[in-house]
Structure 1
Amino acid sequence: MNAPLITLSRISAAIQGKKVLDDVSLIVNPGQHWAVIGKSGSGKSVLLKAIVGKQSITAGSIEHNFKPAHQQHTAETLASQRMALIESRHHFKNFSNTADFYYQQRYNSSDSEDALTVEQYLNAILAHVTEAHYWTLEKALDRLRLTDLYQKQLIKLSNGETKRLRIAAALVKNPTLLLLDQPMTGLDLNSRQYFNTLLQEIAASGITIVMATSPHEIPDMIQKVAVLENGKLTQTLTPAETAAQHFSWASSTPDVDEAEIASLLSLTENPTFEWIIKMSDVNVRYGEIQVLHNITWQVKQGERWALLGPNGAGKSTLLSLAYGDNPQAYANDIILFDKKRGTGESIWDIKRKCGFVSPELYQFFPMDNSCAQVIESGFYDTLGLFRQSDPSRAAIVLRWMKVFDIDKYARQLLKNVPASAQRLCLLARALVKNPTLLILDEPCQGMDNQQQQLFKHLVDTICSKSNITLIYVTHYPHEIPNAVDRYMHLQKGEVARVETVSS
């Protein structure tokens, strides 16, 4: 019998003194593929980090058993080379490898030139690969559908394209153990179906897979399911047993304090506009690549839209025009809040009227503020709080945090709370000033079902008690708030169709 690849023996771990893994034991055998499920904050991501050595443990032991390819490999370097972890946030650097990207960099042509291309990024990884394996560069590019993106800069990739690239980067290393943290997040329906098939090929190539995922998104190749609750491993199930199991955190609908939401919304009076967005024959091009083709879109105040389309359809670029981040707005016929772009308004005039959250904002948001400071920064449209906290606004922040059930994290640094809580903080940041326009680009990524239901109920309540204008982007139809009654579908940068649904 083959020895286990990984043996976790009663491990515990803590972050800022708070226990996040508690006496967890788990054995991963070669070719035995695991899914780890549990409520947001249950310890799934921490468990994956502990396995690869990115999270220190306070008790117990972790034993890796990888066969060395060369005698000079130490146990430590062998483990690091044989494992690959794909986390929820990427860690891309600029071309000189001296600094992180910043959020608006992807829309500014001169600054975006300081980014590696897909080709340069993958070749830098291949420079450290000395052996021939199943996952060649050509095979990874083909299977992850990256061939057409080979010369594209990393900063300009969509959320789904970025996820595919990071998987390809892991595969060309041909690891023995591949760990994936919520790999389905941000993928459209066709991509999720394709990814299910891809995982089967990865498993057949001899790579063992351990992934944190939702109980509703367990791929076909998974053989074992570990259930975490409050840092403890409470059950080990088969996928069939998991499908038949009722998890309270995966189905219950939490209550929303509608009176408190109404009170918070009453703190700010929004001005009245005829046009929130009015675009006529809008085109956006980067070099030889046309991202948007002749987009015409009109959004009036109080309308609630869903913006839909596959990964790479142009949704994020379109939203960057509406939010004022994309300088190509000045070369197009665009009216925002009754003012034509280029007639004297500043980007801050636009942002003042908007609440915004997106996967890209999550990727690039600085993590060293406390959660309360992050939310308070929404009053000033800055990525973090760079001034003295205002007591009256801090009080409003705490009220919103209680609505989101994240007030317990108020004083904790954003980087030290669960990924789902980080995202909820950015959502609260978007709402805290009661914006005229609320843009929610895949806002429920990383949340468990209960948190998704809470947020959906919250958005519907806000819509019912205000004249807020909503633009909602998702790949999951069940996430779309009931208030949405207008749909625009993008396909390859063009408007495929527009629908209005009567209530």
Structure 2
Amino acid sequence: MTNALLSINKATVRFLNTTLFTGLSFSIKKGESWALIGESGSGKSALLQTIAGRFNITGGEIDYHFWNEYSKFFKAGDIATPHKLIALVEPKHHFRNLSNTTDFYYQQRYNSSDSEDALTVIDYLNTIPHFPGTDTSWTFERVVSLLRLEPLLNKQIIKLSNGETKRLMLAAALLKNPVLLMLDSPLTGLDIKTREEFNGIIEQIMASGINIIIATSIHEIPTAITHVAVLSKGAIIHESLKQDFKAELFEQDKSDTIDTNELNALLNIDKNPATYKHIVKMDKVHIKYGDKVVLDDVNWQINPGEHWALLGPNGAGKSTLLSLINGDNPQAYANNIILFDKKRGTGESIWDIKKKIGFVSPELHQYFPTDNSCLQVIESGYYDTLGLFRPSNKDRAEVALRWMKALEIEKYARVLLKNIPASAQRLCLLARALIKNPALLIFDEPCQGMDDHQQLHFKNLVDTICSLGNVTLIYVTHYQREIPNSVDKVLRLDKGKVVF
């Protein structure tokens, strides 16, 4: 197998007390690039983590055939393993603060003194080591140019948008010049322009001699990919050349049902009878960090019962705009903003605002503590805390379980959030946002990482919720197909300005 890069032969793979794979076999040769597809929880991410050396192999074997070629380049005393020559870009980042002592926390990007405890993009990229013996074609200048990072070089990494962070993580992986690059759902969070450029990016990476394995949607397999593997329930059920792959044979069933009576009952538990003239009213909102204008004289009025899409490319200012509504950004006090008929700065607390809002975003998912059970995470939505820090309330826990059933994730009720698939984690946070029946729902890229059925079910759920009550909705996405049918108003941002 002189042309083999790596091979897995009849492996049993375990994580903690869970068996992830039994009899797993998979191989990749030099010059090949693979797409892994399958429903949520099928094992795509687990396969990447297995190759990266994150899980225990208790039976069978995995051989890194490329290791003999490169191991001689490591110095005596180095911690030298084949995994050093593999780069894995995961859905979540693992950035650390300047002192390298603690992780970043949710809301840090909006607090000026705390956000300074973060590397800039250029400083972060300069910390990335190059793997010994590998090609050096991916230079700092090349990755910065390819991934359009020039305008971001002096920006703190904590202040990057979700899509900008994705581009930075890929740049860091390329700077290592790895033998094998693995990408886990790399297109989630990227705007239309960057997604359109992605095929060309993959082609350039492959042309440089780097092998690629990408876990992706069946609808977003890059053209440069040579092979496809389909996973289901922890097993590889199909392998083929991409040119022979018939996607229609593996598309998910598009049927879906919503229990309208149960949903209506859930929406009338602890229903807030308050009425408002305006949910949101912004007048010439201007947000600036240093010399960078993030929002430029934004006007926006949202009335009760309206359903809005907030659209725009990565870095347009969408997350900052939402942070002013959700009470996370202290610059709200310096602007003319009315929330739920009260002007910011007239005595209301952040908690007064948050109890009226159900919110989920990529940033909330990134920083949400994962040591609670999923049921506890959802119950914490009653208290707007990042986790449950009080004894569980029996009645509220029962409501949380009912919401889990509505979102088809009840099997994870007693499982820790960190031990379930990323898509199910996001659905837990969506249930957390819904549980208190808030007047305003803010869903910022809610369908990231979900498979086709999960996306369809959630979209239908949102439309049903909007039809049953007077809830107000703000929905952010980079995919037109994800926008619920109930959305009939649009605010589009570009470079901090409202674009009509």
TM range (shorter): over 0.9
Instruction: Return the match for 1:262 from 237, 240, 264.
Output: 264
Alignment of 1:58-457 (within 5 A): 58-66=58-66, 67-68=69-70, 70=73, 72=75, 77-126=80-129, 133-249=136-252, 251-270=253-272, 271-457=274-460
Contact 1:20 1:42 in 2 (8 A): no
Q: 1:132 Cα shift?
A: 6.5
Deviation of 1:427 (Å):
0.6
- Superposed CA offset, 1:227-254 (max 9, x none): 00100111012334434433252x4232
Q: Which amino acid aligns with 2:31?
A: G
Is the Cα–Cα contact under 8 Å of residues 16 and 416 in structure 1 kept in the other structure?
no
Counterpart of 1:480?
Answer: 483
Q: Which residue identity lines up with residue 263 of structure 2 in the other structure?
A: I
Which residue is 1:37 aligned to?
37
The equivalent residue for 1:14 is: 14
Aligned to 1:500: none
Deviation at 1:124, TM superposition (A): 1.1
Which SS does the other structure have where 2:107 is aligned?
helix
Q: Tell me, what secondary structure is at the counterpart of 1:5?
A: strand
1:4 paired with 2:27, answer no
CA change 1:70–1:357 in 2 (3 A) is: same
Cross-structure match for 1:53: 53
1:402 positional shift: 0.7
Contact 1:367–1:414 (Cα < 8 Å) also in 2: yes
Give the deviation of 1:71 after TM superposition: 5.8
Equivalent pairs counted in the alignment come to 496
Check 1:9–1:123 CA distance in 2 against 1; reply closer, same or farther (3 A cut): same
Shift of 1:478: 0.5
Asked if the contact 1:215/1:242 (under 8 Å) is kept, the reply is no
- Show CA shifts across 1:169-228 (max 9, x none): 000100000000001111111110111111100000000000100010000110110000
Query: How high is the sequence identity, in percent, across the aligned residues?
Result: 57
Name the TM-score, length of structure 2 as normaliser: 0.96
1:234 and 1:163 map into 2 onto residues whose CA distance is: 30
CA contact (8 A) 1:2 1:30 kept: no
Classify 1:31/1:73 alpha carbon distance in 2 versus 1 (closer, same or farther; 3 Å). Answer: farther
Residues 182 and 71 of structure 1: is their aligned pair in 2 closer, same or farther, counting only changes over 3 Å? closer
**Could you say what secondary structure the match of 1:190 adopts?**
helix
Q: Distance in 2 between matches of 1:91 and 1:23?
A: 31
Q: 1:371 to 1:307 in 2, by over 3 A?
A: same
TM-score by length of 1: 0.96
Does the 8 Å CA contact 1:253/1:454 hold for their aligned counterparts? no
Name the CA distance, whole Å, in 2 between partners of 1:488 and 1:302: 16
| Conserved? CA contact 2:135–2:177, under 8 Å | no
User: Against the structure 1 CA distance between its residues 371 and 490, is the aligned structure 2 distance closer, same or farther, given a 3 Å change threshold?
Assistant: same
Structure 2 unaligned residues grouped into runs of 5+? none
Q: C-alpha offsets along residues 31-80 of structure 1, whole Å, 9 cap, x if unaligned?
A: 10000000000011010000010122232211102221516479972412
Query: What are the superposed Cα offsets for residues 115-142 of structure 1, whole Å, 9 maximum, x if unpaired?
Result: 1111111111147778761000111111
Amino acid at match of 1:360: E
2:19 maps to amino acid:
K
Contact 2:441 2:473 in 1 (8 A): yes
Q: Is the 8 A contact 1:15 1:416 kept in 2?
A: no
CA contact (8 A) 1:182 1:211 kept: yes
User: CA 1:73 to 1:376, structure 2 compared with 1: closer, same or farther past 3 Å?
Assistant: farther
Question: What SS is found at the alignment partner of 1:460?
Answer: helix
The amino acid of 2:159's aligned partner reads K
**Are the counterparts in 2 of residues 36 and 212 from structure 1 also a CA contact under 8 Å?**
yes
Alpha-carbon spacing, 1:15–1:252, altered in 2? closer, same or farther (3 Å): farther
Contact 2:218 2:251 survives alignment (8 Å): no
Distance 1:73 1:477 in 2: 54
SS of the residue 1:103 aligns to: coil
Kindly indicate whether the alpha-carbon contact (under 8 Å) linking 2:37 and 2:230 is maintained by their aligned counterparts in 1. yes
